[in-house]
Structure 1
Amino acid sequence: MKTMDKTAPRGDANASQKGFTLIELSIVLVIIGLLVGGVIKGKDLIDNTKTTKFIQEVQAYQDAITAYEERYGADPFNDTLQRFGEANNTDSATATLRLRIAGLISLAPGANTPTNAVALHVFNDSITFLAGNVMAGTATNLGTANDTLVCFEGVPSEAAAAADTKYDDGVANTGNIRAATEATAGTAVTATATASFGTNTATVCALAN
């Protein structure tokens, strides 16, 4: 008696095990390359936008200090008249408060009234203030004891150099914009000029023009 072979036809085994062709692999690699390139391009665009914003912030804070001096006849770091009812202090926190009460810099994030909370720049690190005669180092002091320095901590080196080139002489330890050594975050920097803005981050101190 003849028995029926009930086994299903196997077909071409090679058909189910077929891999990518060179053309398909090329297409996949091109797509991956485009995605990676897009991510890098997007990051570059964000970085460039932040650098532009930082350059504007440096100028804005220099202008704020100048405006305070012109309006009140004293610099915000050393103003001792307690014109706003603030403490008679010469420190970064009090200078920040004075500039906020005067409406010359923005309020702290989430605040509805002026406070002495540390201001933050576009790269999300501290903005502090110093007397203008304390920038020691390889070049002369930036200003006198009656001037106010504004210092931006934790700034990417390229952005720091770009700001110096845009508004000053492009040299890290001369002019009105200089690199300085870093101190504790949120406090005034150790005001010693350094020869470069480094390769990672830098502290940038600027004197009002």
Structure 2
Amino acid sequence: MNRQQGFTLIELAIVLVIAGLLLAGVMRGQELIANAKVKSLASDFRNIPTYFYGYQDRFRALPGDDRAADTHLTGGVNASTGSQTQNGLIQGAWDSKTATDESFLVWQHLRLAGLATGSVNMTSDQYLPRNSEGGRVGVASVSTLGAVPANTFNTAHAMCSDGILGRYATQLDSMLDDGAGNSGAMRILVSGVAGTGEAAPQAASPYLVCMSF
């Protein structure tokens, strides 16, 4: 006599409970990873302006804009030169790769001053700072940002961080500013497109995030 095999209600209930626990664990793990990424990105926006002002307090000049950097620092430093040197502005594109731009020199000055970590060799692949998502990080005068129209920010300088997914950018804005990507000190921008910020960033699209300081 054949006996029909199958799961009992208790067995099915146990399987469903286990599946639910596994799913909850996966979702919780993803949430923890996302929170860790946002905290890492936020630390850049908090720390880099601190380094910037630390250099200013120590040498009475801005990193990158310091015409006496070769006397203030040692270790192959490039002193800023030119008619606009030490005018209180970090000139050049925020993501400049030009060795004579102040926005490029700023990293060598900060690192040689012991305020920031990283390579001081400007020809090294490790010289240009990057965020935890692999996007470029930079500092520049708000007048040379390009992506942000004039009068968007009410301070002289801004820090920008590229390649940040919209869901992380929105969390950053809520954590560090007013929670709106098109107002306040932090703006969520489409890379390469001028604008005052995105009010509703797409969660899975990468953005350029700039914050004035």
TM-score between both structures, scaled by the size of structure 2? 0.70
Larger deviation, residues 123-132 vs 191-200:
191-200
Instruction: Check if 1:157 corresponds to 2:166.
Output: yes
Give the alignment partner of residue 2 of structure 2, picking from 10, 13, 21. Answer: 13
- Structure 1: gaps of 5 or more residues: 1-11, 108-112, 184-189
Equivalent residues in 2 for 1:51-130 (5 A)? 51-83=38-70, 84=73, 85-86=77-78, 88=80, 89-107=100-118, 113-116=119-122, 117-130=127-140
Question: For 2:144, what is the secondary structure of its paired residue?
Answer: coil
1:194 aligns with 2:197: yes
Residue by residue, what CA displacement relative to the aligned partner does 1:39-82 show, whole Å, maximum 9, x if unpaired? 11111012112222322321111211222222223322433444
Paired AA for residue 78 in structure 2? E
CA radius of gyration, larger in: 1
- Name the Cα RMSD after superposition: 2.8
Structure 2: stretches of 5+ with no match in the other structure: 81-99
Greater relative contact order, per chain length (Cα 8 Å cut-off, separation 6+):
1
Secondary structure of the 1:120 match is coil
Question: What is the aligned-residue identity percentage?
Answer: 28
Structure whose residues are more often strand by fraction: 1
Worse overlay, 114-123 or 61-70: 114-123
What TM-score results when the alignment is normalised by the length of structure 1?
A: 0.71
Q: Deviations over 1:138-189 (max 9, x none)?
A: 6724357xx4422111123233233333333333233332223314xxxxxx
Please tell me whether the aligned partners of residues 170 and 201 of structure 2 are also in contact (alpha carbons under 8 angstroms).
no
- One-letter identity of the residue aligned with 1:131: S
Q: Which residue is 2:32 aligned to?
A: 45
CA contact (8 A) 1:153 1:182 kept: yes
Runs of 4+ deviating beyond 4 Å: 135-139
Contact 1:132 1:148 in 2 (8 A): yes
Tell me the number of residue pairs that the alignment of Structure 1 and Structure 2 aligns: 182
Distance 2:104 2:138 in 1: 8
